[in-house]
Every structure is written in C-alpha cells, then in structure tokens.
Amino acid sequence: MKNLFIFLSVVISSSLMAQVTTVYNPITGENWMDRNLGATQVATSFDDVNAYGDLYQWGRETDGHQVRNSTTTSILSTINSTGHSDFILGSSDWLTVPDDNLWQGGNGINNPCPQGFRLPTESECEAERLSWTTNDATGAFASPLKLTIGGARSRMSGAIGNVGTFVGYRTSTLNGTQSRLFGISLTTSLMADRDRADGNCVRCIQDESSTSTLEISNQKKVFKIVDFLGKETNPKINKLQFYIYEDGTVEKRIVIE
C-alpha cells in the first residue's frame, strides 16, 4: 500500500513570522490553504462561523474591505488600489474601468493570497468538486479542504445573506465583465457567473511556479525531525512531525499509511 503524504503546513517565514498551513487532495494532486482567507481556524463543520473568513470583491487587495463588518461607500474607484477599506456599493464592478489582470496567477497585481499562493481557476475548483463524495455542502466539508458555507455580501446593500446555507468561492476566471464563482449550497454545488463587486469567500491554492513554498521545501535539506514535544526523532508513519530545514523554515508533516 502506498503512503499518503499530507502536508499540514509548509513554511514559517523568518521575515513575516507567519505560518501558512496547507492541505493536500491526493485525487486532484493540489495543495490548498487549510482555511479561507480571514478564517481563524480550520472548519469543524460546514457552518462553523470561525471558519467562514472574509468576503472579497473580485480583484481587490486585502485592504480591509473584505472584513464582514467593514463600512461601505457608493463611490467607485478609478484606480486598482483604492487606498481605503470601504466595501464599494452600487455597481457590478467596484472599478470605474474593469481590469482583468488583478487576480491572474501568483503575480496578479492585487493577489490577496500569501506568497506562493494564488486564486484558483474555475477548472481547478471543478476538479475539487468532482472529487467529493456528494455534490453539496456535506461533500464540500468532507473533502480535504473542509469548505464552509459562510454566505455572501451584496454589492447593492452591503448586507450579508445566506450564512449557513450558501457560499460563493472566488476564482481567477472571468466571463466578460463578470467573474466565475464556485457556489455551494446545502443541496448542490455548481459554477456560475457573479458580479465583481459582490463579496465572496477566497480559498487560495498553491502556485505551481518554481517559487511555490512546497517546491522550495522539497529542494531544501532537512536539518532534523522533531515530534510535537520538540524531541528529535526519525520519520514515522501516522505521527505528526516537524521537519526543520537548514535555512530555518519548518514544515508540519503526517505520512498516513
């Protein structure tokens, strides 16, 4: 029987002092962040309020607008970096002139994901959906991503609705002036169009470029392996271990047989 490697976290940056935690889907072969942007924990259920996370307008950077109780404005932005934290209302786009290059790949102008991560494409979300046991919120939570259904924010009123019954996950894919959204409800899931100014959840996928954190960690030399008590040990099956690399970065790893 083959061993399944689950990388629970990848790199602790010495400069940012922040840890990025990932999960791996062996069916799709993709690594994702283990929670939505803005979520304080990995979901314990599909309606776990602490795992809902923030609600982003398509293409905006992490400037504070995504916070669920952010203030609102009806003034559209003329530039792709607004310089404020208001959620922009009243139009299908928060920009006066749409810009299709804001969330494209890891080098997108306003990519809100941590370094080495990006917004997923529509096809990547569809592949995840097809790997689920059921095509609904239950299947979404049962998947390695443990997706939640934290509602959405209206571009017209700024109100947040459908919390606990529906969620839309942003993708980098566009369809004309609209964006493609990965929608999940209690009874189904599907891809659909969504206005760019609506507020929706974001789950980041690991970038496939050579600068992705997992590829970097795979090329680095292991200094030592320790258990959760900090005691040096050898590689073990079905045990949480910390791989410490010579450059000081740390990776949590579980090998499940």
pLDDT tens for residues 118-144?
999 999 999 999 999 999 999 999 999
Average pLDDT score over residue span 216-234: 71
Grade residue 241 by pLDDT with cuts at 50, 70 and 90: confident
Cα atoms in the 13 Å half-sphere on the side-chain side of 253 = 23
- Dist. CA 187–CA 175, nearest whole Å: 25
Domain boundaries, the chain: 4-23+211-256, 36-204
Range 145-172 average pLDDT: 97
Cβ(162)–Cβ(152) below 8 Å: yes
Give the integer Cα–Cα distance in Å for 39 and 48. 10
pLDDT at residue number 209: 65
What's the whole-number average pLDDT of the chain? 86
Q: What is the pLDDT of residue 227?
A: 81
State in Å, rounded, how far the first CA of the chain is from the last one: 7
Q: Is residue 251 pLDDT above 90, yes or no?
A: no
d(CA 88, CA 84): 10
- Measured distance CA(94)–CA(70) in Å, rounded: 15
pLDDT band (50, 70, 90) for residue 201: very high
Residue of 251, 248, 252, 230 lying closest to 239 (CA atoms): 252
pLDDT-above-90 percentage for the chain: 68
pLDDT tens digits, 66-111: 999 999 999 999 999 999 999 999 999 999 999 999 999 888 999 9
225 neighbors 233 (Cβ within 8 angstroms)? yes
Residue 257 in this model has a pLDDT that exceeds 90? no
- Position 112 scores a pLDDT of 96
| Residue given tokens 């392996």 in the structure block | 225
Kindly indicate the confidence band of residue 220, based on its pLDDT and cuts at 50, 70 and 90: low
Q: What does the alpha-carbon distance between residue 154 and residue 199 come to, in Å, rounded to a whole number?
A: 6
**Cβ atoms of 161 and 152 closer than 8 Å:** yes
DSSP class of 27? T
Cα 114 from chain centre: 9
Length of the chain: 257
| Coil, helix or strand at residue 45 | coil
